């Protein structure tokens, strides 16, 4: 669980929910690069305003859903309205507070690595908003994928959104990929933190993967790619089923 002074993203969500419509979170990368990486309004939009690839991804969701890194709850709330039993989890207490205030029935403050059989069995693991990145590193991804295999029904799916980090010509990003490789990391294994209104999150690893890298990560975990949903940006959604 994030402490109050660390919950930068959650505070931004809460401020936006309470009417501060210009709330935006600064993302720092460990090479010194910074940008306004998250504008809160996008996390409060309704289905008609979502990008086409996210709308298409919802067609693959079935049964009981675990929304990993649920944020302000836009995907969880949509699926709840569609009749799904949805549990949203996030390490941000303020994000969960916002989800509950917006009407999400089941939401818990929980890190991804704390997911266990105590939560029950799921038919869909949802990781939208680039939250496939929460796997963090190749080693942790394979460990968590095997854990998710045990927590899900026989025909369960992972519906995860990520970004191909190599679809860029920006010299700063290309240099960062090379820095990562020199450190024995995947090129898209980003180390970042979030800042907002004097609050700063802990540094964390966030994993972006190309399509080929995704296939390699799944090898030996009991999962395989079923379908890829492209967008007009480097972002794509992977629909992953049991092998």
CATH code at position 102? 3.40.50.150
Q: Is residue 196 part of a domain?
A: no
Instruction: Judge if pTM exceeds 0.85.
Output: yes
Q: What is the pLDDT of residues 16-25, one digit of tens each?
A: 999 998 888 9
At 48 the pLDDT is: 97
Q: What is the pLDDT of residues 96-141, one digit of tens each?
A: 999 999 999 999 999 999 999 999 999 999 999 999 999 999 999 9
Band (pLDDT 50/70/90 cuts) for residue 81 is: very high
Q: Is residue 138 part of a domain?
A: yes
Q: Is residue 36 part of a domain?
A: no
Number of domain units in the chain: 1
Q: Is the pLDDT of residue 37 over 80?
A: no
At 1 the pLDDT is: 87
At 216 the pLDDT is: 97
Give the residue-averaged pLDDT of 164-168.
97
Give the residue-averaged pLDDT of 211-225.
98
Cα(114)–Cα(108) distance, integer angstroms: 11
Q: Is residue 23 part of a domain?
A: no
Sheet-wide strand order for 223-230: 107-109, 86-90, 65-68, 122-127, 152-163, 235-242, 223-230
Band (pLDDT 50/70/90 cuts) for residue 207 is: very high
At 23 the pLDDT is: 85
Instruction: Give the residue numbers spanning the domain of 238.
Output: 50-191+203-242
Q: Is residue 64 part of a domain?
A: yes
Q: What is the pLDDT of residues 63-78, one digit of tens each?
A: 999 999 999 999 999 9
Q: Is residue 214 part of a domain?
A: yes
Q: What is the pLDDT of residues 186-196, one digit of tens each?
A: 999 999 999 99
Cα(233)–Cα(57) distance, integer angstroms: 15
Q: Is residue 16 part of a domain?
A: no
Q: Is residue 79 part of a domain?
A: yes
At 88 the pLDDT is: 98
């Amino acid at each position: 669980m994030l402490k109050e002074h660390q919950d930068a993203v959650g505070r931004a969500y809460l401020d936006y929910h309470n009417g501060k419509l210009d709330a935006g979170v600064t993302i720092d990368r460990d090479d010194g690069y910074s940008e306004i990486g998250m504008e809160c309004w996008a996390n409060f939009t309704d289905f008609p305003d979502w990008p086409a690839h996210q709308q298409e991804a919802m067609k693959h969701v079935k049964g009981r859903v675990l929304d990993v890194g649920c944020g302000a709850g836009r995907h969880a709330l949509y699926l709840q309205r569609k009749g799904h039993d949805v549990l949203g989890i996030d390490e941000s207490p303020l994000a969960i507070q916002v989800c509950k205030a917006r009407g999400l029935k089941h939401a818990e403050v929980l890190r991804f690595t704390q997911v266990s059989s105590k939560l029950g069995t799921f038919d869909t693991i949802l990781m939208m908003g680039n939250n496939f990145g929460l796997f963090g590193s190749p080693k942790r991804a394979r460990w968590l994928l095997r854990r998710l295999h045990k927590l899900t029904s026989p025909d369960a799916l992972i519906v995860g959104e990520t970004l191909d980090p190599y679809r860029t010509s920006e010299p700063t990003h290309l240099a960062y990929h090379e820095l990562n490789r020199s450190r024995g990391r995947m090129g898209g294994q980003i180390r970042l933190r979030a800042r907002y209104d004097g609050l700063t999150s802990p540094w964390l690893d966030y994993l972006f993967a190309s399509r080929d890298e995704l296939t390699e990560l799944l090898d030996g975990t009991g999962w395989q790619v079923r379908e890829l949903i492209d967008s007009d940006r480097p972002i794509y959604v992977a629909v992953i089923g049991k092998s």
